[in-house]
Structure 1
């Protein structure tokens, strides 16, 4: 008889314990053990949360190199079946070899569950018949568990699920996440309900009254916004380092529908638009995706949503200043071009309509579509097509954490017919038009920050911290991805011949980008370089990019006048007709304001089980080389974090959203 020493590690999750009986079978290249009941002197405490328990499995002879283990769980008579979350199993063979089997998933039934030995293997490297059979069976089950569904025509497809509890256990929120999410949502709405603000359908009569909303939930930046929201320099700054740094681009020629002249924007002819454009000092923001939308009706009142064009000028002291605003796309006598030289409230109202347009563009295109919905596509395709033993699964699965459930909740609570965004945002009644327009105009290059910055002509823009931090993060992630994948893909042929990899990218092209070749999204992967870039984009989008466009929502939207969710008077058609009273009547009603602010508070709130970028409490890699690569990755992130913190000490408004310590590994909120 020979003995195998089996060590079982149960995770430290709050509900991860089991008091059921656990059985194991070891399967090797030369045979398999009998199904063995794992029992010890610990008794029922063997598999409680955080426990490490050791057992012995005996075999008549050696079963060779271990390929997989089979685990099943059975409840005791008269006891209910419970759920168990094992982290991993370690097996030491009689020959002295140690095998690791990462699990990190819920076992909720009495079925047999198979787990591969932890060495990462592509399908080309997986030569044993048992291993190939195991990965085929795993993917067959995954295709049943993770099925595609069409939420709305023209949008990326999503996972088919009826409610959060119908999601597979391994992709649901933890107990901690669930509890804190519900607590944050309920306390915010309770605070507003106690004040009666959530039911008050009247206009604001004094701008200072807005302070009563979430008066105890200000942040340093939201306080700064409240003090500086009217200033042109801060208006321009937000296009670089606010929550929507994705719209601004260098202007080399004025659009024909934006007839700005030198006399309008440069007093006394001190310079010209042509000269400033040639120098790279003129920038354009165009909200054409919002043109022609049917605005919402809120509290029985028609709302207004413009599709403005904004011209900005980089001054000699490196401030980005708005110099012209046209609120509708088609020039007309009743569509004046507003200028900083206009009356205080004419100019301020023009900026308010821009900021409201930016809220709707940001939420639907930049935030929902380009991070949440695409991250779900990447996650579902991974879980359907790539087995746990594959290096791509091990690399990407930490970046799918909680994404499927948070997106289900978004569809349920935010963009459904009764959702907050549908009911209270200016674009809520026509949001699908924006989403379909956005997807049809999306390009692969716009999802890759080095390409995107170059295409928008922003390489030399000063004080652009989103770009500075984002490019550094991209490079760090790219080096990490290249180091991991290059250990398995030595040649381009190996990429082309990996059928699982090709099915993964094919599903993304079909279900994420609706088979639109014009997006530039690859339909297949042909080179190692192409694979590394695409995987870098997937990780960057679900971590750094999401943090950049999500984390600061309450910072910049906690003072409603800076980011109105909707506006309920039309913009002025002639100059000299606006006032403070006009502004207050134009702002959203009190209940609309507080619903928007409560939502932004919830979406900006970090969970205590947040996992920062580069940290892997659930580590599927078991070999020494990937562990060394991960350590190097973490070291580079620490250095970047220190650089960002040092820079921020000298900034009036610190830019923290791409500091690796606040960037979450996945789209989880």
Structure 2
């Protein structure tokens, strides 16, 4: 049969190529250059000069209708240089309109290769050239009829530009999996060469078409050439401002600061930006459009036209954002960007109304957010449930340098607390693990003098008591300012206690608002941005630089890196940049990202594992008799209970997968790609913390399993827990204000009299005003959305992402386990005895349900930090 194949078919094998043309093109643009595609006519083709790239077609091949060529590379036969034999160049042929696995906007083409199996063996890779002027997205290649052999499949998912842009022809490998030492000899050099091309040489400004991954510091947040007030410190590369690294762009320096980069379009490696081929792009570009198009309109309406005041006058007026909307001048909405994600914010029924969807937190009750029970519940089931910790020492101490900040010990006394401990003494409450603290004192105190030039903020400590019914009750709030004689003399603090009547109840509500402002800022800058977005980017860079696509750990981690570099780049352009959205709408203002750098000094990779995090915060103790080997101190802790289920599922999946390729610790140690990968993560990606002893040494299977599990946890479940509830809770600005503009009024002041006369107005004058509210709501609505093509934990966007059937079976087991966890979470949410799962606002904790529909769903764990 093999001989007949070679004789009758001229030693040819057939393949199918699936691709997506550039957004504005159809499939005819790929192969029929003279038929209204890349160039309008054949005469146009004859008139161009083939040596010029960037908008010009190679005339010799294009005129013949040959626009994309491929050459197969053998995985079993070598040439005189010891490299896999390379076959003859073949060109794409006819369109295959009914190919069964086509996705949206994908087209399939057939191609035949002259390939003598006896001489060339089995293909393991291929070279490809694009002779056209425009890029296209190569999805996959499948070789279908190699005699006595299964399908040979290539999962590509990469942009291809004109071949002259590349120093070497683009190469793709099969979806087989090999450790470096097990790579078929004919492919070894090709594997090394591809990694080298992805590393680049560390010089020059990166271009759009490049796929180069390199490290740089955060030196592009400021704009000193435009305004000295927009200068920002460089984050990373120093002990003063340590930070994770970002992808290097190599742009020119600013004139006023040679260490900072000029602003402009931010480079990301080309395959990190799919470019409007998927709906999630509309979310990320919605953020850019919001910054460029919509926010100036808000400013125009509120400040320039004075059409609506910048202050809310009542809680009812805040609710009008969702119930009736804000009427706008006739010409305003016509200027709104037509992006679908923005159309969902702005009504399109002919009324000139700005209207937001109602946040979940007020869908059932308009006032339950004000209760102490809901305040406490959101510490364990809200959008920032990973900060609260057990109160182990009393009074609470500070870790700030006493030589600089003086004595910052808490002034909360035993008498303050025992008023609300029932029959318990302070000692019994502490020993019984009934007292907890939400402590933002040390984070904010060093910055308050700067912050309070434009705001009125405290550094806060909040003590909470675990009641018999499992709920948390706030029993004391400490509000601290730098000492008036200088911060070196310590803090000037006062303690506010709970009250439910009269002016004291208003003061208590204002104190809680100041706590939530601290919490909102810490959440956005540290829990969300630093601990997920920024922390994961160095792992993505090193993976692409050092782990071949053939490497099992690359295949394990790759789906958890999708879109992260792209969304981080957009964040540096519009969210965390100087005078960007975060600085405009969050308390720290120009000090925002600098504050996250101060917290990063104490970031520990191994503590990002959920069990380690819970133990460190005193929220769990090791106990083999309990599920997951941990006994929770707060049994009804939704984030921890659901999270431990997800964590164990992730770790079991990683264990099952890693065991397929690493039978011994020695195998881990001898994997040169793996060792280089980890060395770069530690010494370059998180280089400012390179000397920390807590880094795993990557010498054992357990260290590899634990490290990969942490990476996947950060990118998937941790990010989901702190991101997709933002609008549900923070969409109602009264519940999660981001700014504080007044301190607690003192008796005898006009502010105090106003507070007594009109408590709502006093509250609204203290928190985020109208313009900043509109900005904040617009952003977090986009950030809280799921795209229609989101890929969730336990899923892959490619069915056969590996040819290893054992790995596919283990992954299917992982998905099934996650589905069962969803059922268990739903059951817990229906248990009326678990009061923290529902709360006064009647909002069940669903953020760690794995699956979701598109839109604002308050659930769903995407594989990666993609928004």
Q: Calculate the TM-score normalised by the size of structure 1.
A: 0.91
**Pairwise CA distance, 1:149:** 1.1
8 A contact 2:482–2:491 mirrored in 1: no
1:212 aligns with 2:307: no
1:30 aligns with 2:77: yes
Q: How far apart in 1 are the matches of 2:265 and 2:157?
A: 20
- DSSP-derived class of the 1:213 partner: helix
* 2:506 match: 345
| Shift in alpha-carbon separation, 1:358–1:507, aligned structure 2, 3 A | same
1:621 aligns with 2:667: no
More displaced 10-residue stretch of structure 1: 150-159 or 509-518: 509-518
* 2:463 match: 311
| Shift in alpha-carbon separation, 1:174–1:474, aligned structure 2, 3 A | farther
**Pairwise CA distance, 1:407:** 0.3
| Shift in alpha-carbon separation, 1:312–1:72, aligned structure 2, 3 A | same
- DSSP-derived class of the 1:665 partner: coil
Unaligned runs of 5+ in 2: 1-5, 32-66, 79-84, 201-211, 219-234, 237-241, 252-263, 324-355, 398-408, 484-489, 620-631, 832-837, 852-859
- DSSP-derived class of the 2:849 partner: coil
**Pairwise CA distance, 1:241:** 0.8
* 2:213 match: 146
- DSSP-derived class of the 1:229 partner: helix
1:639 aligns with 2:812: no
**Pairwise CA distance, 1:660:** 0.8
**Aligned-pair Cα RMSD in Å:** 3.0
| Shift in alpha-carbon separation, 1:187–1:285, aligned structure 2, 3 A | closer
Q: How far apart in 2 are the matches of 1:23 and 1:335?
A: 72
* 2:152 match: 99
8 A contact 1:318–1:462 mirrored in 2: yes
**Pairwise CA distance, 1:174:** 4.3
- DSSP-derived class of the 1:24 partner: strand
Q: How far apart in 2 are the matches of 1:648 and 1:174?
A: 39
| Shift in alpha-carbon separation, 1:226–1:401, aligned structure 2, 3 A | farther
| Shift in alpha-carbon separation, 1:450–1:559, aligned structure 2, 3 A | same
Q: How far apart in 2 are the matches of 1:654 and 1:133?
A: 54
8 A contact 1:312–1:324 mirrored in 2: yes
| Shift in alpha-carbon separation, 1:61–1:376, aligned structure 2, 3 A | closer
Unaligned runs of 5+ in 1: none
1:108 aligned residue (161, 165, 182):
161
- DSSP-derived class of the 2:69 partner: strand
Q: How far apart in 2 are the matches of 1:9 and 1:435?
A: 46
8 A contact 1:399–1:543 mirrored in 2: yes
More displaced 10-residue stretch of structure 1: 42-51 or 453-462: 42-51
| Shift in alpha-carbon separation, 1:560–1:640, aligned structure 2, 3 A | same
8 A contact 1:295–1:428 mirrored in 2: no
Greater gyration radius: 2
More displaced 10-residue stretch of structure 1: 66-75 or 33-42: 33-42
1:539 aligned residue (709, 712, 721):
712
**Pairwise CA distance, 1:391:** 0.8
1:336 aligns with 2:392: no
Question: For residues 245-284 of structure 1, what are the structure 2 equivalents within 5 Å?
Answer: 245-254=385-394, 255-256=396-397, 257-267=409-419, 270-284=423-437
1:592 aligns with 2:782: no
* 2:41 match: none
Deviations 1:321-358 (A, max 9, x none): 00011011779996221111481111111101000000
**Pairwise CA distance, 1:598:** 1.6
Q: How far apart in 2 are the matches of 1:36 and 1:114?
A: 14
Q: How far apart in 2 are the matches of 1:462 and 1:86?
A: 47
**Pairwise CA distance, 1:521:** 4.7
* 1:137 match: 193
**Pairwise CA distance, 1:43:** 8.4
1:5 aligns with 2:13: yes
- DSSP-derived class of the 1:418 partner: coil
**Pairwise CA distance, 1:315:** 0.7
Deviations 1:353-389 (A, max 9, x none): 0000001111111111000001211111111111111
8 A contact 2:536–2:711 mirrored in 1: yes
| Shift in alpha-carbon separation, 1:123–1:235, aligned structure 2, 3 A | same
| Shift in alpha-carbon separation, 1:69–1:415, aligned structure 2, 3 A | same
Q: How far apart in 1 are the matches of 2:776 and 2:793?
A: 28
Q: How far apart in 1 are the matches of 2:96 and 2:690?
A: 59
* 2:844 match: 654
8 A contact 2:362–2:369 mirrored in 1: no
Q: How far apart in 2 are the matches of 1:196 and 1:222?
A: 27
- DSSP-derived class of the 2:739 partner: coil
1:179 aligns with 2:332: no
Q: How far apart in 1 are the matches of 2:412 and 2:722?
A: 31
Q: How far apart in 1 are the matches of 2:111 and 2:162?
A: 22
Q: How far apart in 1 are the matches of 2:499 and 2:137?
A: 67
Q: How far apart in 2 are the matches of 1:531 and 1:413?
A: 36
**Pairwise CA distance, 1:65:** 3.3
**Pairwise CA distance, 1:97:** 4.1
**Pairwise CA distance, 1:73:** 2.4
8 A contact 2:70–2:89 mirrored in 1: yes
Question: For residues 482-493 of structure 1, what are the structure 2 equivalents within 5 Å?
Answer: 482-493=655-666
Question: For residues 43-442 of structure 1, what are the structure 2 equivalents within 5 Å?
Answer: 49-60=105-116, 62=118, 63-75=120-132, 80-110=133-163, 112-128=169-185, 130-144=186-200, 145-151=212-218, 152-153=235-236, 154-161=242-249, 166-175=267-276, 176-183=279-286, 190=294, 193=298, 196-197=301-302, 202-215=310-323, 216-223=356-363, 226-254=366-394, 255-256=396-397, 257-267=409-419, 270-287=423-440, 288-294=442-448, 302-328=454-480, 335-341=493-499, 343-442=504-603
| Shift in alpha-carbon separation, 1:372–1:42, aligned structure 2, 3 A | closer
More displaced 10-residue stretch of structure 1: 398-407 or 289-298: 289-298
8 A contact 1:33–1:59 mirrored in 2: no
Q: How far apart in 1 are the matches of 2:684 and 2:176?
A: 31
Q: How far apart in 2 are the matches of 1:241 and 1:375?
A: 24
Q: How far apart in 1 are the matches of 2:21 and 2:374?
A: 44
| Shift in alpha-carbon separation, 1:462–1:226, aligned structure 2, 3 A | farther
Q: How far apart in 1 are the matches of 2:850 and 2:461?
A: 34
Q: How far apart in 2 are the matches of 1:596 and 1:573?
A: 30
